[in-house]
Structure formats: C-alpha cells, structure tokens
Structure 1
Amino acid sequence: MQMNTSLLTLWGYWDEIYQRCTRLKYVEKGNNIFRIVPLRYRGESLVTSDGHFIHKGDLIVKIHIHNYYFATLCKGVTDELKVALLLRRHIMHSLPKLAAYLDEMNKREEIKGIVGTTMLHKGVQPLGFSISDVPMSALFRFKRWYLRLLLRLIHPDGKRRVQTWSQEMPLKRVYMSKELLLNRYGRGRKETSGERF
C-alpha cells in the first residue's frame, strides 16, 4: 500500500490542529522524529537498563514519534524493510538532539527519564531503551486502535499486517533514564565505532 497524496495532505492539516491543541513540543521541527511533553509519570514503577527507578509522580519527558512527519518520509516507499530501516535511521539521528534538548530544559535535575508508548519497539533495546507491558485500560485501548490506524496508513502492507496480528497488539512502554540518554547521546558521549540500531 502506498499512502494517497490527498490523505497525507488532510493528515497534515489535522496534525497542525492537533499540535496546537496539545502541549507537545517539537525537538526540532522538520528534522527530528520526536515530539515531547514534560509531565508527571502515572504508571507502575519502572527500572531502567542502567538501574535507575522511575516511580509514579516522578517528572519525565514523554516522547511521541511524530507519525505525520514519518509518513511524509515514507511517501513512495513500498518495501517493508526499507520502512523499518528508515525509521531506525531517523531515531538514531534524533536521539542526540533529544538529549541536547533535555539537557537544556527547566527542571533538568528533577527529570528522571524519557518514556513512550509504541508498537514500534523491535530493536530498541540495543539503543538503551527498556521495554515493559502496558495495562489495557480504556486509554491504552484507544491508543492501540489509533496506532493500528496509523500503521495501516504508513506501512506499505499495513492492511494485511493489521489483519494478521492478533487482537492483543504489541503495544509496549519504552523508557530510558536521563543519565543513560545523556551519557550515550549527549554532547560528552563517547563515540562508539560500528554501533548499529
């Protein structure tokens, strides 16, 4: 499936409205796959891969993949592997800028980490992310439905992929401590040759 140009244009209008109606902020508009919002964490306690804790009430940076932006990048791409590689490349490109953005934020010292909810979680653990299940509350059920719709629009074989997946879609929480993000992707990070996502 290739996304219809008219549908993509309509999505762009909706995305502008959505952006204005939410507290989401661009890390770097048009050059970063993440949008973020600082908020108090409301879920179960999390332990990051480097041993830090994120508890209910802690200040976090909630990360959202900018799906419309990614859809524009995928326009004309019909191969499933190419879509996956494109996403990975843009996540790798975006993480250092996300680290720099967090490092300049107000209440930086209070922030415990970054947390997101996604179906696109395969291969993120080598990047430093941890993964956990989410409770199937009404909110997460709605988000699962919404992400399934986006998958159908973005993915070159989205209709078949959604139909073949079970009702229990692999919606997961992905998270990383502030320390790991800054140490690995911040300005003072050590370059690692041959690192791959």
Structure 2
Amino acid sequence: MEVILLWSFYILTFYAFIPGVISRFFGFRVFKKGKSERDLALTFDDGPHPEYTVQLLDLLKTYNAKATFFVLGIQAEKCPELLKRMHEEGHLIGIHNYVHKTNWFMRPKTVRQHIEKTSNIIESITGKRPIYYRPPWGIVNLFDFNNLGHIQIILWSAMFNDWRKKVGAERLYKRMSKCCRGGEVLLLHDCGLTLGADADAPANMLIALERFLQDAKQKDLRCVRVDELMRATDANKVRNPSWLKRIVVKSWLGYERVFHILFGMKTTNPEQPIFHFRMRPYHGDPVTMDDGTVLKQDDKVLEIHFDNRRLYEIGTRSRNMMQIAIHMIRDVERTLPELADYVQSHPEVNAEFKALYGVSMINRGPEQFGFVVKDLPKSIFAWASKHYLRLIMRIIHPSGSNRVRNHTEQLVPKLIIMSRHTLLSRYGKSFAYEANKQEQTLLTSEHVVKKAPSAT
C-alpha cells in the first residue's frame, strides 16, 4: 500500500505539480504578463452568463474597452447570441474547457476533447476558430505544453478573488486599482455558476470594474485584447531585447562564424553577404530538377546557407512571417545573379558542381526562381534540421516564440534544389548572352532557308 501511495505521489508530482509550478512562476510556454506602457488586458472566465455578461458588454462598450473572454463550452451553447455579440464588438474569445474541470485530473486525450468540442462551438457561432486557451484554475498537466497543437496557453498577472461575494465591491476595487498599469493581464469572472463561486458575485465585479475603467481612462491606459497586448510585448522585445536574448543572439552569430571557418564557406559579397556556400557531395535520393537533370548520390552540389546576421536584421524589421519571406525573396533575387557570375568566373567550380542545394523553412515561393522543393526524407538529419531551424525562427521571428508555435504546421524544413544549367541560363550574364546569340543565329538560319529560292 505504501508503494502504491508513493508511486501515486510521484506521478501526481511530475504529471501535475511540477508543470504547474514552472508555468505559473517561470512563464514556461505560457503568456501571463505583457510589456507595454499603455496597454493592459482584461480577461473574463467561466461565462457567458445571460445577465452579467450582457451588463459587462454594455460597460466595455461605454468605455471603448476591449476584452478577452475565456468561455466554457457548456455556457457558450446556452448563450450563442452573447458569443456573437462579443465577436461583433471586437472582443477576443478563448477556450476554458467544455466544463470547469481541472486538467490535473484529466488524461491528455480528455483535455484535447474538451478543447476541440469548445473550439467547434465557438467557431460554429462566430465563424472564427479560437487559438487561445486558459485551463481552469490555470492548472496544466505535463502534456499540455506540447500536446495542444496551435493552441496558446494564457494565464494572468493578477487575480482578485472576485468569484466570492464576501470580498465586496469596495475591497475588490482597491485590489484592482493596484494593478492599473500597462502590461497587466487581469483575471475576472463574469459568471458565478462554477464550483466554489458565488452566483451573484459578478455584480460586485461590475461595480468595481466601472471605477477601474474610469481610473484607466484618466491614466491614458488602454484596455486591449490579449493578442494585441502580446503583439505590443513582442514589438517591445524587438526594440529592447532581454539580456538573455542578446546572449543567445551573440552566441548564435559567433557559432556561425566558427562554422564558416571550419567548413571553408565562401560568399559573393563579403561586405553584405546573403548566401554562404561550399562544395560537397550530395547524399540523398535522386531528384529530378526542373530542366530534367537528375541529381544523384555523390554528385557535387553547392550547399547554400542564408546569412544569419542578415536573417536577424530582417526579423527585427519585420512585423510578421509574410514580411520576413518577402525580404528574403528580394535578397535571393538580388544574390542569384551574383552567385551565377561567381560560378562563371571560377572554372574549377563551374566544372564540378551539378546543382545548388539548401534546406529552408521559407519554402513557399522558391519555385519562381527555378528551385525544386522536395520533402526531407525522414532521418536524424531531418529531425535535427527541423529543431535547429525552428530555434532560429524563434530567435528572429518578430512576434516571438508564441507566434511561431501557432504555425508549427507551416514550419517544416524542405530541400530547395536548382540545377547548374538553370542557375546559369536564368542568372548568368555570359551564359545568357551566348544562349541568346545561338538562338538568334538559329532564327536567322531558319529565315534564310525559308527565303532561299527553290533548286527546282
């Protein structure tokens, strides 16, 4: 019996207690507080409620404040018109499980079912699928960090025990007024029907909240949705990166310099490098390129690497993944002619390599430049490439790791390959000139043949 109790204690500790501690106190894989001078986030759990949520929406509208509602699926089913109103008035709707049950006592599969069911309800009412999730009581289990797909976990920086009526409106207001500043994520409740709550407690919350909104207005503070506070926080991090991120970036760029030296990497533009490259044998399955050339095992390739310093500069100047991709495409467009000229001016390179070869997360659009995009075969290299490139995207992405996690299904490394003939024919000056000259000669010959008098 003692052994069973001991193992039960160990399982509960590692499954529930430790994950809860590291998420709550260290902010691991969760968002719980922002960095903004002007913006704070009001969040409301357990609703919607047919009486109190209506009053709350009216109050928010009066003060032009936006909020985030983490709704229970069972309540959302009863009040679809309130979810529709929340959405239409510009508020953000997140998930709070289907019923108010802690993740500590649910299997990972059951948690996913709660989230999926509630997501479907919200999407059927608003037309928009939620991606933000607050577990009841903020409690996560061991598998929540990596088991929720695109879902972002949201906790809070301050709560006020507002689910208990005995706190009273005056005391609740005093507690809230201490957090009337930028960056805060305030946890409140617009429904008191869950276990341990008082059914009419939201009435006090509404009284205290109106005074809080008056104070926020006087201080020129904005009440925004959680996703907007996250964007403001990410922008602040880009402008003022933490000491830890500065160390990580310097270490990363230092590693790149060592890598270039050890493997003899070259570039076409030392002052403003875009590509670094080296000659090496190809190891992989045969690949048929756009011009019919087949790349085989041990054929020589020019392995290309995007300059990490340039990648970091692009990331800090861009607001989203689309802008990063656009900047990278422009740089590639500018650099491919330089690379073709380099190959043509170095006969020893020109004679040996068969294709350009690289691995990239930004693999939507390279076809327009003549690249063939292929899936990486499953291997240790593919696994390492995926995790390394996702780490890079977390470092350089303007919206931080939270945004990257929301699009993991898109962040899949792939091979990009271009034949030597395509590189030179599309981007090489002398090659294009000779090809054009030969084409003109052929056209002229055909013209002469057509115009020549018949021998008969």
Superposed counterparts of 1:55-74, under 5 Å: 55-74=296-315
State the Cα deviation string for residues 96-133 of structure 1 (Å, max 9, x = none): 11111222331422321111111111111011111111
2:357 aligned partner, one-letter code: V
Query: 2:253, 2:308 within 8 Å by CA — same for their partners in 1?
Result: no
1:146: how far off?
0.6
Q: Is the 8 A contact 2:397 2:404 kept in 1?
A: no
- What secondary structure is seen at the aligned counterpart in 1 of 2:354? strand
Contact 1:42 1:57 in 2 (8 A): yes
Asked if the contact 2:314/2:324 (under 8 Å) is kept, the reply is no
* Greater helix share, structure number: 2
Moved more, 52-61 or 106-115: 106-115
Scaled by the length of structure 1, what TM-score is found?
0.85
Task: Give the aligned partner of residue 121 of structure 1.
Answer: 363
Partner of 2:210: none
Q: Distance in 2 between matches of 1:175 and 1:87?
A: 17
Aligned-partner Cα distance in 1 for 2:278–2:246? 30
Displacement after TM superposition at 1:25 (Å): 1.8
Partner of 1:130: 372
Q: How far off its partner does 1:155 sit?
A: 1.4
Distance 2:403 2:271 in 1: 28
Map of 1:172 onto structure 2:
414
Give the Cα–Cα distance (whole angstroms) in 1 for the partners of residues 394 and 297 of structure 2: 33
1:6 aligns with 2:246: yes
1:38 and 2:292 aligned: no
SS where residue 303 of structure 2 aligns?
strand
Matched, 1:95 2:301: no
3-state SS, counterpart of residue 25 of structure 1: coil
Structure with the bigger RCO (C-alpha within 8 Å, sep 6+) is 1
Render the CA deviation track for 1:32-72: whole Å, top value 9, x for unaligned: 31110101111111111111111111111111111222213
- The reply on whether 1:153 has 2:395 as its aligned counterpart is yes
Runs of 4+ aligned residues of structure 1 deviating over 6 Å after TM superposition are none
| Structure 2 counterpart of 1:177, one-letter code | S
Distance in 1 (alpha carbons) for counterparts of 2:410 and 2:316: 28
Q: Which residue of 2 aligns with 1:139?
A: 381
RMSD between aligned alpha carbons? 2.2
Counterpart position of 1:193: none
Residues 355, 420 of structure 2: 8 Å contact kept: yes
- 1:57/1:11 CA distance change after superposition, 3 Å: closer
Larger radius of gyration: 2
Q: Percent of aligned pairs with the same residue? A: 25
Q: Which amino acid aligns with 1:15?
A: E
TM-score normalised by structure 2 residue count: 0.39
TM-superposed CA distance for 1:169, in Å, is 4.3
Cα deviation for residue 168 of structure 1 reads 8.5
Q: In structure 2, how many angstroms separate the alpha carbons of the residues matched to 1:185 and 1:158?
A: 36
Structure 1, unaligned runs of 5 or more: 191-197
Secondary structure of residue in 2 paired with 1:26: coil
